Amino acid sequence: MTLKIVDGMENKKLCLIMVTEDERDKCFLTQKLTRYMGWLAIRCKVFKDRDIQGIEIKFDDLVTNVCEWFKEEHTTVAILDLENIKLSDGPKYDSIFRRDHIDTLFVEYIGDEANQDTLSTPLESITSNKELTDPLSYVVLRKESKDILVNKVENYLQTRIIFYVLNINMENKSIWLSRHGESVFNLEEKIGGDSSLSPRGQKYAQLLPDLITKEIGESPLIVWTSTLRRTQETAKYLPYKKLAWKALDELDAGVCDGMTYKEIEEEYPEDFKARDDDKYQYRYRGGESYADVVNRIEPVIMELERQENVLIITHQAVLRCIYAYFMNVPQGESPWMTIPLHTLIKLTPTTDGVKVTRIKTDIPAVSTYKEKGSSDITSNPSNLSSKYANILEEVSTIQKI
């Protein structure tokens, strides 16, 4: 059984135009928004008024390229990354794209050092422009999100984009990701369930405080777990504030919960094959798909962007979705990534990308990885079908967005 996502936004066409004083801010926001849209299965493409060699692209050609993009199936968002663009240029772009039923939204991102009066300037210049027969949709915001000016933001997609930008916090933060310690069900090759940790899983839980202390020192940290026993037990010895999220629970395997992959292949052979064919969209009978997990952890991602240092202790499928968000892994490939047990992953977002540090402990643990087309657990996944399978083994010091 597969899940067909019906999104009310798929018929919307939105041209998002970024206005910033700092080119690095524009590059950063464009990358973040492109990655966020892709993670939510919203097709998005960036258009620049300069080619790779820096040669200017004619304005008419740029407009043609954008309009052609929107003729493709299920395209929703185009981001214009233009040089020397101002909010006062809005009427020109708005009137041009509106002819093709494309909404425009200007996002002006102002540096912290900007004058307080800057926020009131756009409203005066735009509303007095005689070219406008209808108010322009735009948002003006300060880097620290303390001052916001919103004008004619009407639809859900525009609101969603603005809310995302408002929640971005880049101030000296790191995010640590870890699966729970090895569980009893892991040893039995069973999926799902709510089992306790194995003796080796308990050792990992006892070692985790020292690992985190070495990484973070005296800096503040909050620990997020799922509501399931194995993550709670893994976080037991950590001397930090803890918050349990139901949204971080493992992917619900429905009627297959507590079964091994071999048992699933024997009892539900059609479902076993369907899941291998489209693991991201396949939904277990009475359970969830990876697409469902992405939808339910979106509030977690939004809160994660707002927070400072966070350690997330959760499950394999959920960590695949979170890691795919930060590292821009295609949705269809994300369910095939290996996320080993007893390994701590540190992500440090920067304006240039995400720095990845992988800290592997010397506490042994079983593999839980199943390769496509097989019901066997792969203990040494070195030559797997997905090029993203061993992405954690292959990360460089800085993994670009």
Active site (catalytic) residues:
81, 180, 250
HEC string for 251-280: CCCHHHCCCEHHHHHHHCHHHHHHHHHCCC
CB 80 within 8 A of CB 17: yes
d(CA 262, CA 12): 44
Give the number of other Cβ atoms within 10 Å of residue 61's Cβ: 11
d(CA 359, CA 176): 10
Q: Residue 116 has what DSSP assignment?
A: G
Q: Residue 313 has what DSSP assignment?
A: E
Q: How would you classify the pairing of strands 14-20 and 175-179?
A: unpaired
Cβ-based neighbours of 4, under 8 Å, separated by 6 or more: 281
Opening angle at CA 200, ends 198 and 206, nearest 5: 105
Residue 101: half-sphere exposure toward Cβ, Cα within 13 Å: 5
Opening angle at CA 32, ends 30 and 35, nearest 5: 105
DSSP-derived 3-state class of residue 48: strand
d(CA 82, CA 397): 30
Give the number of other Cβ atoms within 10 Å of residue 251's Cβ: 24
